[in-house]
Structure 1
Amino acid sequence: MLVFSVALLAGFFFLIFSADYFVKGTSAIARNIGISPLIIGLTIIGLGTSAPEMLVAGIASVQGNTGLATGNAVGSNIANIGLVLGVTALISPILIKSSLLKRELPILLVISIISYLLLVDGHLSRFDGLILIAGLIAFLYWLLRSAQQNKQQKKDILAAEFDDEIPSDLSTKTASFYVIIGLTILIISSKLLVWAAVNIAILFGVSDLVIGLTIIAIGTSLPELAASIMSVIKKEPDLAVGNIIGSNAFNLLAVLCLPGLLHPGNVDPQLVSRDLPIMLGFTLCLFIFSYSFNGQPKINRFKGGVFMLFFVAYLSKVYLDTLGI
């Protein structure tokens, strides 16, 4: 047990460390070749922050641990809203000014509903995976179009916040080194994490799904938590929400598709009956909380507390279901 626990903690540490280097490197290279900060932030950084989930899901799927892969995708979305936005809003209320984020939120809700409908039959097929991949391509195209329109029209506040975050002092050579090192350690740490998680699940007699929904989901959401807290501390609240919206969309489109493509088959019934509806509920709450009919939209401390309360209640539900209570 001690070996698996140490391996799990080491996997998380190196996963977070390498993901940060990978995102810094890729975004710096993109900036050096003249890509706008908004495009970099919405696409490259968005996909980069979901790289831990993608690699964990891919490795788990290849090994046949689809419960771990699907649980990681769905659980990360729940953790991103309930834990990450909840804690961030409790630290500092999140004022949403970006018009782009307000257009992106309904799309995230639609992506969440489609993902649920694809899995409601209890089966994740290769065709389902291809639909999610097609959705990813369409989503990326929409992001690129929106960023281009934003560049031609009035500058969105999100563009300025991304501009401040993307490294401007990294040479392409150094940035390429960051990418290579980051990706290499990402792969190794993801393999270590999956190995430790599967063995812990076997040791405690719980399903891969439960481990994916809880330990792995929370662990792979730690980069988003750190990034969101730093964003509100630096007075960049739109970036905090933007990171979560982008990460959740990519988790469903780029992560959930992997078990379908690499190891299609039945999914755990509890994922369909419990976890996906709860994920939809969290997404709907985020959608409602991010709009205001009288003043500037704000996720205040009360709303952050509601997110945290719901997240703790969800973890309690998973725990009790595992015990068979």
Structure 2
Amino acid sequence: MPSEMTLDVLLFIISIPVILKSSDVFIEGTSKLAKMLGVSDFVIGITIVALGTSLPELASDSYASYIDHGNIAAGDIIGSNITNIALVLGLTCVIRPLTVKHTEIYSGKMHLLILTLASIFILASGGIGRIGGIAFIIAYILYLWHSVRVYREIGVETIGKDGFIKNVSEVLIGLAGILIGARFLVNSIIGLSTALGVSEYLIALLLMSIGTSLPELSVSIQAARKGYMTMALGNIIGSNVANMLWIFGITAVIRPVNIASGVIVVQLAFMLLLSALLLIFKSTGYVIDRKEGAVFLGIYAVFVLVSIISGSNPTGLHQ
């Protein structure tokens, strides 16, 4: 057991710089491709980057559902959405205040509406079955179509096509590094937590969600440092919608997930509160400043404490 824990610690330490460097390469490649193709940073962030950084959740949660552990998938998806706003966006805005264009406010409304409707459906249905999963997937495709149509030409800065192959290679290499690093990180966290006897749902809700959200954290921080603020925002919003509709949908299609509403209602309330605050902060002065970023971080700390104290009883989640 000690040797296994040592290996998990080493994997944890190694995976972080791998993800950070890969994210740096990935963000450079995607931003340049966006300009070459005449597509805005926001659209790239809300589609390609969001889907790319959500792949760890997709792979991990699909596998968890396949092996009849839907409680892990549910905890990871809800936990990741909370982590994306409270921790990822909070840290990003503390590092550099996020300036928001007026034309991007609508996406925040759509983001809140989608998460609210999906949460109501899950609570009312006691989970999500295969038909519901298919409906979620179709809704996500329509969301992508709408986003590209509305925001395609907002803030476009076209550059030449020189270096196209190089930029595509950077995207692929960066994405591969993110996925490999995230996989190592998730495995190490699960290994350590299992050795300590922590429940699956709590692991997924608090620890696994951080591991699978690390790509979003890395990409958003790197985007903020490089001045691609709309891409950072698009990444957060796009990842949350992808998690709730695309990943939850695929997970349910693989195997229906039944969730006792009493188990997840508190976490869903945190998720919707953060989504509403995101819309409010975006709408006031069109800047999410360092103080508002600190508010997100404070809410995340409360969320962690409440989840630990309540124990997030996993027995209410069953297949």
TM-score range, shorter chain: 0.7 to 0.9
Separation in 2 of the partners of 1:282 and 1:81? Answer: 7
Separation in 1 of the partners of 2:31 and 2:289? Answer: 31
Q: Match for 1:298: what amino acid?
A: V
Partner of 1:204: 196
Contact 1:31 1:168 in 2 (8 A): no
In the TM superposition, 1:239-258 aligns within 5 A as 239-258=231-250
In the TM superposition, 1:149-164 aligns within 5 A as 151=153, 156-157=154-155, 159-160=156-157
Question: In the alignment, is residue 238 of structure 1 matched against residue 218 of structure 2?
Answer: no
How many residue pairs align between the two structures? Answer: 307
Partner of 1:265: 257
Separation in 2 of the partners of 1:237 and 1:23? Answer: 12
Classify 1:130/1:91 alpha carbon distance in 2 versus 1 (closer, same or farther; 3 Å): same
In the TM superposition, 1:33-44 aligns within 5 A as 34=37, 36-37=39-40, 39-44=43-48
TM-superposed CA distance for 1:224, in Å, is 2.4
Separation in 2 of the partners of 1:204 and 1:67? Answer: 19
Q: Match for 2:278: what amino acid?
A: L
Paired-residue identity, %: 30
Q: Taking structure 2 as the reference length, what is the TM-score of the superposition?
A: 0.81
Q: Taking structure 1 as the reference length, what is the TM-score of the superposition?
A: 0.79
Partner of 2:208: 216
For structure 1, the residue ranges without an aligned partner over 5 or more in a row are: none
Q: Which of 67, 71, 75 is residue 71 of structure 1 equivalent to? A: 75
Separation in 1 of the partners of 2:28 and 2:49? Answer: 8
In the TM superposition, 1:1-325 aligns within 5 A as 1-10=5-14, 34=37, 36-37=39-40, 39-99=43-103, 101-120=104-123, 121-148=125-152, 151=153, 156-157=154-155, 159-160=156-157, 170-172=163-165, 174=166, 195-267=187-259, 269=261, 271-292=263-284, 296-322=285-311
TM-superposed CA distance for 1:24, in Å, is 6.7
Cα RMSD, aligned residues only:
3.2
Separation in 1 of the partners of 2:221 and 2:144? Answer: 26
Contact 1:12 1:220 in 2 (8 A): no
Separation in 2 of the partners of 1:177 and 1:235? Answer: 22
For structure 2, the residue ranges without an aligned partner over 5 or more in a row are: 314-319
TM-superposed CA distance for 1:309, in Å, is 0.7
Q: Over residues 167-212 of structure 1, what are the superposed CA-to-partner deviations in whole Å (9 max), with x where a residue is unaligned?
A: 965443x566566666766666666555545444433332222112
TM-superposed CA distance for 1:312, in Å, is 0.5
Q: Match for 2:289: what amino acid?
A: N
